[in-house]
Amino acid sequence: MRLFLIGSLVTFSVCGQTNSSLSGSVLDAGGVAVEAATVRARNTQTGATSAAVTARDGKYTLGNLTPGAYDVSITGVPAMSNFERKNVAIDSKPAVLEIRMDFNTQLGTLGEDRVNLAADARRHKPPSGPAPRTKDGKPDLSGVWWRPTDVDGGGPQFLPAADAVARDRREANTKDNPQVRCLPGAVLRFGPLFEMVQSENYLVIINDDESPGFHQVYLNGRHPEDPNPAWYGHNTGRWDGDTLVVDRVAFDERIWLDQGAHPHSPKLHVVERYRRPDLGHLESEITVEDPGVLAKPYVIKRVADLAQGYDIYEFICAENERDARHMVGK
């Protein structure tokens, strides 16, 4: 009986040996290992997704992958631009992909470097308890929140022209980023801290490191017939049960879409769904639709921790500005 079981196991192992693996290291632009980054691989044919978290030395392994083409991505690493490599071929032999991530800050100065922002993330201690509610029974989203973490980056598929623009911007050291000239950051970006102030008719969202850094969401659920383009777009909101659905249209052509330096077109439409499941967390689901730059819409899922005891301070970008002359291309 024992010999039969061993033989069965050996036969199963040989016959089932069709899957493979992907491994490698994740390093930043300076060659330093990136710890605790989530590497995701999505099979382009089946849509099946596998994920692994990098170790202290930056190494990762994704096992049990069916041979085929995979889109590999990393999102949500503090101070780093999102990474994506499309159509990575996986066959019967283990594959290796060494990943270099770019900084999404211009100078890597004290306070905006990756090590400091990662330390900030470790300091998060969101309080527990039920979510507060307004007098009409809706969840109160008000509070100061840490920069949200991407739970799922959505795997955007940009059209070749949009990818080319983003590549040119990054190769020029993002010297033309609107934030270099004290203008708002990307549509999908939130600062190290952001604040929500909720009233019956308005929701105001404030980023702590932008000028002007705030935009209003009108809680009447309606856009004007022909809204004027604006840096933050025109924003309306409506409640779907305990979820606030924010509809955003009419963005200024000069604002960048994301921290990967991608552009947008006049067709950009962003829908944000906010939910506060408890006192210490804010969940968001962001649907991005823009047929001018995207092959199809995609959805980002994020979670932010309540920054209890923190305040948003004024940010006057043009005051004593000395950095723009240093923002040069490579």
- Is the model's pTM score more than 0.75? no
Query: Which of 16-20, 61-65, 196-200 is least confident?
Result: 16-20
Residues in the chain, overall count:
330
Q: Which residues neighbour 136 within 8 Å (Cβ) at sequence distance 6 or greater? A: 200
What is the average per-residue pLDDT within 25-31? 88
Quote the pLDDT of residue 174. Answer: 85
Q: What is the 3-state secondary structure (H, E, C) of the chain?
A: CHHHHHHHHHHHHHHCCCCEEEEEEEEECCCCECCCCEEEEEECCCCCEEEEECCCCCEEEEEEECCEEEEEEECCCCCECCEEEEEEEECCCCEECCEEECECCCCCCCCCCHHHHHHHHHCCCCCCCCCCECCCCCECCCEEEECCEEEECCCCCECHHHHHHHHHHHHCCCCCCHHHHCCCCCCCCCCCEEEEEECCCEEEEEECCCCCCEEEEECCCCCCCCCCCECCCEEEEEEECCEEEEEEECECCCCCCCCCCCCCCCCCEEEEEEEEEECCEEEEEEEEECCCCECCCEEEEEEEEECCCCCCCCCCCCCCCCCHHHCCCC
Q: Is 111 left (phi over 0), alpha (psi -120 to 50) or beta?
A: left
Cβ–Cβ under 8 Å, residues 306 and 280: yes
Quote the pLDDT of residue 15. Answer: 45
The average confidence (pLDDT) of the chain is 87
Quote the pLDDT of residue 319. Answer: 67
Could you tell me the CA-to-CA distances from 26 to 117, 171, 181 in Å, in that order? 18, 20, 32
* Better-scored residue on pLDDT, 56 or 108: 56
Query: Is residue 122 exposed (0-12), middle (13-18) or buried (19+ Cβ within 10 Å)?
Result: exposed
pLDDT at 246 over 70: yes
* Better-scored residue on pLDDT, 245 or 150: 245
What is the average per-residue pLDDT within 269-287? 97
Quote the pLDDT of residue 317. Answer: 81
What is the average per-residue pLDDT within 171-178? 87
Quote the pLDDT of residue 253. Answer: 95
DSSP β-ladder status, 214-218 and 202-207:
antiparallel
Quote the pLDDT of residue 11. Answer: 36
Cβ–Cβ under 8 Å, residues 205 and 215: yes
Quote the pLDDT of residue 7. Answer: 36
pLDDT at 25 over 90: yes
Quote the pLDDT of residue 2. Answer: 38
Residue 284's pLDDT band, with cuts at 50, 70 and 90, is very high
What is the average per-residue pLDDT within 132-139? 94
pLDDT at 149 over 60: yes
Can you tell me the distance from the alpha carbon of 9 to that of 11, in angstroms, rounded to the nearest whole number? 5
pLDDT at 111 over 90: no
Can you tell me the distance from the alpha carbon of 170 to that of 60, in angstroms, rounded to the nearest whole number? 26
Domains in the chain, ordered, with CATH?
Answer: 14-101 (2.60.40.10), 124-326 (2.40.128.20)
Query: Is residue 82 exposed (0-12), middle (13-18) or buried (19+ Cβ within 10 Å)?
Result: buried
Could you tell me the CA-to-CA distances from 273 to 54, 78, 143 in Å, in that order? 30, 23, 17
pLDDT at 235 over 50: yes
Residue 219's pLDDT band, with cuts at 50, 70 and 90, is very high
Q: Which residues neighbour 297 within 8 Å (Cβ) at sequence distance 6 or greater? A: 287, 288, 289
Quote the pLDDT of residue 8. Answer: 37
Quote the pLDDT of residue 113. Answer: 62
What is the average per-residue pLDDT within 240-252? 97
**Percent of the chain having pLDDT more than 90?**
62
- Tens digits of residue pLDDT in 65-84: 999 999 999 987 877 778 88
**If you average pLDDT over each of 98-112, 167-181, 216-230, which comes out highest?**
216-230
pLDDT at 273 over 90: yes
What is the average per-residue pLDDT within 4-11? 36
Residue type, 202: Y
- Tens digits of residue pLDDT in 195-212: 999 999 999 999 988 888
Residue 6's pLDDT band, with cuts at 50, 70 and 90, is very low
**Percent of the chain having pLDDT more than 70?**
86
pLDDT at 110 over 60: no
